[in-house]
Amino acid sequence: MVAARGHFYPTPFARVWAKAMINSYPAAEAHASHVHAGLGSLRRPCKPIKHDRKDMSVRFEGTETYVATADLNVAVNAAIALERPLLVKGEPGTGKTILAEEIAKALGKELIPWHIKSTTKAQQGLYEYDAVARLRDSQLGEAKVHDIANYIKRGKLWDAFTTSERPVLLIDEIDKADIEFPNDLLLELDRMEFYVYETKERVVAQHRPIVVITSNNEKELPDAFLRRCFFHYIRFPDRETMTQIVQVHFPDIQKNLVREALNAFYELRNVPGLKKKPSTSELLDWLKLLMVEDIPPEALRSREPGKLIPPLYGALLKSEQDVHLLERLAFLNRRERG
């Protein structure tokens, strides 16, 4: 082992590389220390994370604004007790994202949302090092350039690891990111810690966050990742559950209107060949429109169910193929009736 600026490098090549980096660029010292830090982080004992026993006895049972079925409650409480991320899948609009907000609300926790895009990298959840800003500041002779910590931007996981109370961390739409994303977070989500190479700092969660991960199934998630999660699929709400959901959103809505609207809604979902079935969020939008436009419940009733286009269908159908399909069904229906 040879030393370069007080760090130990395993080979002469590593020393030459490290020195070249240090001399060429102000940020390079930190980059060079990756070699050292990688070894150092393995050697250092792991600080134990506080396990919030009092939280384990807390039960989630939905909220005034969120209708949770019994199986969903079981899944949420199991994930909290096991201290594993809760992976939630389900059709779009079935309340996956809002679930994390409601868990936070019900348990009185802070919500830290991390919305994933196709370009999001796992590292951004930990921290980002702004080497460009540091280079610019070094050219301008700024004093702050000497402290590399000034150029470290904390990510959502870091925020979640350093809150004073156990937070709820939402990793929303994990399937939007590339296939490496979940794999790159395995260790951090398992051990709830990571290493900041630039500052040689180890960030360990003060409390294990309650992690909710949502997916729309656009991509398969790796087995190693799935193994670490508690899985729950939100089944599309049955009529009874949907009536309750409507009730929490529109407590003053007419019962007749809900009944007729739900008839039309479930008939529409049953039309074979629909490209995009309307979901809970579309139903809620549609009901809101029906109330604003003062559409009477009778207008939603058809003698031959499933064959007539509901009023203000634009809130329910989201593709021209589906609109054409319904128009053709309505046309055939009219012709049959003469």
Positions touching Mg ion (CB under 5 A) are 97
Q: Report the nearest approach of Mg ion to the CB of residue 280 (Å).
A: 11
Q: Report the nearest approach of ligand ATP to the CB of residue 37 (Å).
A: 38
Q: Residues 7, 15, 36, 96: which binds ligand ATP (CB under 6 A)?
A: 96
Q: Which is nearer to ligand ATP, 288 or 301 (CB)?
A: 288
Residues 207-246, one symbol each (x = binds ligand ATP by CB under 6 A, - = not), give: -------x-x----------------------------x-
Rounded to 10 degrees, what is the CA torsion of 248, 315, 333, 260? 20
Contacts of ligand ATP in 140-169 (CB under 6 A): none
Q: E-assigned strands of 205-306? A: 210-215, 230-234
* Integer Cα distance of 326 and 271 in angstroms: 9
Give which of 205, 126, 213, 194 is closest to 167, Cα–Cα. 205
Give 103's Cβ-side CA count (13 Å radius).
32
Residue 280 near which of ligand ATP, Mg ion, none (CB within 5-8 Å, type-dependent):
ligand ATP
* Integer Cα distance of 267 and 319 in angstroms: 17
Q: Which is nearer to ligand ATP, 94 or 120 (CB)?
A: 94
Q: Residues 18, 22, 83, 94: which binds ligand ATP (CB under 6 A)?
A: 94
* Residue 67 binding ligand ATP, by CB under 6 A: yes
Q: Which is nearer to ligand ATP, 27 or 98 (CB)?
A: 98
- Written as one letter, the residue type at 308 is L
Q: Which is nearer to Mg ion, 176 or 202 (CB)?
A: 176
DSSP annotation string for 178-218: -THHHHHTHHHHHHSEEEETTTTEEEE-SB--EEEEEE-SS
Residue 93 near which of Mg ion, ligand ATP, none (CB within 5-8 Å, type-dependent):
ligand ATP
Query: What percent of the chain is helix, strand and coil (3-state, nearest 5)?
Result: 50, 15, 35
Residue 245 near which of Mg ion, ligand ATP, none (CB within 5-8 Å, type-dependent):
ligand ATP
Q: Which is nearer to Mg ion, 37 or 87 (CB)?
A: 87
Q: Which is nearer to Mg ion, 63 or 97 (CB)?
A: 97
* Residue 73 binding ligand ATP, by CB under 6 A: no
Contacts of 319 (CB under 8 A, 6+ apart): 275, 276
Adjacent-strand bridge partners of 233: 89
Interface residues toward ligand ATP, by CB under 6 A: 66-67, 90, 92-98, 214, 216, 245, 248, 280-281, 284
